[in-house]
Amino acid sequence: MTMQNIISLFEYQFFQNALMAAILTSALAALVGTYIVSRKVVFISGGITHASFGGIGMAYFFGLNPFLGAVVFAIGASLGIEWISTKGKMREDSAIAILWSLGMALGIIFVFLTPGYTPNLMSFLFGSILSVGKADIVVLAVVLVVTSLFFIIFYRPVVDTAFDPEFARTRGIPVTFIRNSMAILVAVAIVLSIRVMGIILVLSIFTIPQNTALLFYGKFSGIIKGSVLFGISGSILGLIAASAFDIPGSAAIIFMLTLQFLISKGVALIQKR
């Protein structure tokens, strides 16, 4: 594919939409992903992601918007895990694994029970960034604005609560409110990102750019900035590669994000010497 062809891609509506979706999703994942990675709760996010498939299946069965089902299940799983971790009545990692599997199982059962052909099942699993429409972009933009506002207003309490929730509690910070709010924002961000990346691969945009940023930045706000940068660049490069070589967008994006990480790791190692 020539440079000419690559530039001409940008003229197509589908590519512009995909680009917009990738940029918005990267920004959203930068905020939420920094929180997930810093708190070392990536496994929890995996549980939420797969649990949401239960909602997708049930929504299909009842003729509702599958993303609505996904959001309800994701928020339920996220708040449920938050509750389990504070009450400590069961092994947290086992609880996550159970929710993870149960969600997937419910999704599979309901999809199976739904009469007729279930459209877009593959797109839920692997993403469908190249078929993103205006409505998806508007929803992404609104959620990004809401999430950004929450981070701007409550930045220090969010970081303080993530770093040392027990101490934050002694200082009178409403830790439960902050953690539950973040649990909801994480769930919503994950479900929206499923559009771009698919359930199987969505965790990548919440972890790879953040770990790349960690090579260069030591503080929370720096990692957010770095994640936005690396997330957007990886997504754009991935989209170009996907269009050029006719390969799935999500996989191409992950490949580029990982390449970025490896190059950055190399640069960081050289800088140390």
What is the chain's length?
Answer: 273
Q: Hey, what are 27's tokens?
A: 């920004």
Q: Which is nearer to other proteins, 2 or 170 (CB)?
A: 170
Residue 177 near other proteins by CB under 8 A: no
125 three-class SS: helix
Distance separating alpha carbons of residues 138 and 35, to the nearest angstrom: 24
- Shortest distance (Å) from residue 151 CB to other proteins: 13
CB of 171 to other proteins, least distance (A): 4
Q: Smallest distance, Å, CB 232 to other proteins? A: 20
Q: Which two tokens stand for residue 124?
A: 């839920």
Binding mask 76-95 for other proteins (x = CB under 8 A): ------------xx------
Nearest to 243 by CA among 4, 3, 15: 15
Q: What is the x/- site pattern for other proteins, positions 25-44, by CB under 8 A?
A: ---------x---x-x----
When asked if residue 217 is in the footprint of other proteins (CB under 8 A), the reply is: yes
Whichever of 134 and 169 has its CB closer to other proteins, that residue is 169
Which is nearest to 131 in space by CA: 195, 58, 219? 195
* DSSP at 202: T
**Residue range at the interface with other proteins (CB under 8 A); choices 102-110, 163-171, 185-193, 254-262:** 163-171
156 makes contact with other proteins (CB under 8 A)? yes
Minimum Å distance from CB 150 to other proteins?
Answer: 12
Binding other proteins (rule: CB under 8 A), the pick from 146, 169, 267, 269 is 169
Q: How far apart are CA 259 and CA 227, in angstroms?
A: 14
Which of 153, 262, 263, 267 is in the footprint of other proteins by CB under 8 A? 153
Residue 215's alpha-carbon distances to 30, 41, 205, 208, 231, in angstroms, are 15, 19, 16, 11, 14
**CA dihedral (128, 131, 137, 139) positive or negative:** negative
Provide the 10 A C-beta neighbour count for residue 104: 18
Q: Is 164 in the site for other proteins (CB under 8 A)?
A: yes
Separation between Cα atoms, residue 141 and residue 139, nearest integer Å: 5
Segment lying near other proteins (by CB under 8 A), choices 1-9, 90-98, 112-120, 169-177: 169-177
Q: How far is the CB of 6 from other proteins (least distance, A)?
A: 36
Q: Contact positions toward other proteins, by CB under 8 A?
A: 34, 38, 40, 88-89, 153-154, 156-157, 159-160, 162-164, 166-174, 214, 217-220, 222-223
